[in-house]
Amino acid sequence: MNREAEAARGAPNRPVRRTLLAVLGYGAVAAVLLPAADEVRRIMALPQMFGQALRLMLLIGLPIAMVLAWIYPSLGRGGAGSATKGDTPRED
């Protein structure tokens, strides 16, 4: 099987995989942030609304992270506009 056929066959799963990884990463970060935010709120004597606002921002940010992970496949991996090792022009 040639590379084009393999790429076409595996292409539909890539957005799903990226989105799943983004959701898992987002959940891991949220699991660390929420208890830490409660400690920061307690130490700095912030109002109770601080924790509620953080939870609301995390809840609103989840679908945004999912959409970005689905749409932008190369985000965080150099992107389309960045040059990689083989793409840099040579000066002779």
CA dihedral of residues 79, 82, 84, 87 (deg, nearest 10): 120
Q: Which carries the bigger pLDDT value, residue 64 or residue 84?
A: 64
What's the confidence (pLDDT) of residue 62? Answer: 94
Shortest CA distance to 14 belongs to which of 54, 59, 62, 70?
70
Q: Greater confidence, 13 or 21?
A: 21
Angle at 22 between CA 21 and CA 26, to 5 degrees: 120
Is the pLDDT confidence value at 87 over 80? no
Instruction: List the chain domain ranges.
Output: 29-73
User: Taking the model in full, what pTM does it have?
Assistant: 0.63
Over the stretch 16-75, which tens digit does the pLDDT of each residue have?
A: 888 899 999 999 999 999 999 999 999 999 999 999 999 999 999 999 999 998 888 766
Retrieve residue 38's tokens. Answer: 């409660």
